[in-house]
A = this chain, B = another copy of it.
Amino acid sequence: MNSTRISQLFDIQYPIVQGGMVWVSGYKLAAAVSNAGGLGLIGAGSMYPDVLRTHIQKCKKATSKPFGVNVPMLYPNIDEIIAILIEEEVKIVFTSAGNPNLWTSHLKKHGITVVHVVSSIKFALKAQAAGVDAVVAEGFEAGGHNGREESTTFTLIPMVKEQLHIPLIAAGGIATGRGMLAALVLGADGVQVGSRFAASLESSAHIDFKKKVVAVSEGETVLTLKEIAPVRMIKNEFYTQIKKLHQEHKSVEDLKKLLGKRRLKRGMFEGDLVDGMLEIGQVAGLIHKIQSAKEIVEEMVKEYKEVLQEKF
């Protein structure tokens, strides 16, 4: 595990990447994961450019280890964000939600390691052709935004692996050492863990959201809003309202109006469990405690090693 292509690419101890999630992944979480031997990512998606700059600067002070930034390319101030990443000499950038051809060569020219997040073979190959250093392939079970193909981690990883030659990070459904080993068995070189870190002590999410993640069981998340962009969330009152609009065959405009602009912040950052949007993966059903990032990484590595000792 200590010498996969992913741990080598980022020069980290364990091939565990912490997802750069909106309203969750500030510098505290990213630095804690990097200090624990994984790769921490700051999630730029919920930050104004100057807020992101502050987080990068604070992260550098909080860890001497490699860390990165996740940037959704549909971000309105994307030019400004990219300029900040270069000015602040960020070494690793994960791009998502957009065309990998847009920024990859520009970032690479500045010596930045670029990883692109995909949910299908087609986009994995497109990212590879665009010159990225690695790909995150994310399955249907993942929280937050998700692909239209609905391919699950169990099928997506070996299918992408068959065709991709650059390093591959598996995401979606992975929160334990057992899951990490299964992902590597399926052909991944490393894993990206979102939900479990979203519920960590250092996560910026509201404490009530973290408690809700711990309480969620199997079958209590859903991939919905497919007319706008598929997103996995907890089935709360807000979801009941979405379902009602679906049942009444309301228009996409009505759904967009219901969604509004602040649902996600309200749910995840402000802790409104009723009317907020609560993005989390199916694997929330396996998350039973709010722990520090260090404990999470250590537990995953310990379980991984223990499972390897079992008889198969």
Contact = CB atoms under 8 A, between A and B. Distances in A.
B153 A286 contact: no
Contacts of A285: 121, 155, 159
Contact of A222 (B139, B150, B176, B223): B150
B159 A218 contact: yes
A158 B179 contact: yes
B249 A155 contact: no
Most buried by B among A155, A173, A283: A155
A176 B158 contact: yes
Nearest to A153: B154
Contacts of A176: 158
A141 to B, nearest CB: 4
A172 interface: yes
Interface in A173-189: 173-174, 176, 178-179, 181-187
A293 to B, nearest CB: 21
B282 A152 contact: yes
A150 B223 contact: yes
A179 B150 contact: no
A162 interface: yes
Contact of A218 (B156, B178, B222, B312): B156
A187 B286 CA distance: 13
B155 A283 contact: yes
A152 B153 CA distance: 8
Contact of A155 (B155, B186, B218): B218
A274 interface: no
B185 A217 contact: no
A299 interface: no
Interface of A: 1, 120-122, 139-141, 149-156, 158-160, 162, 172-174, 176, 178-179, 181-187, 217-219, 222-223, 249, 281-283, 285-286, 307-308, 312
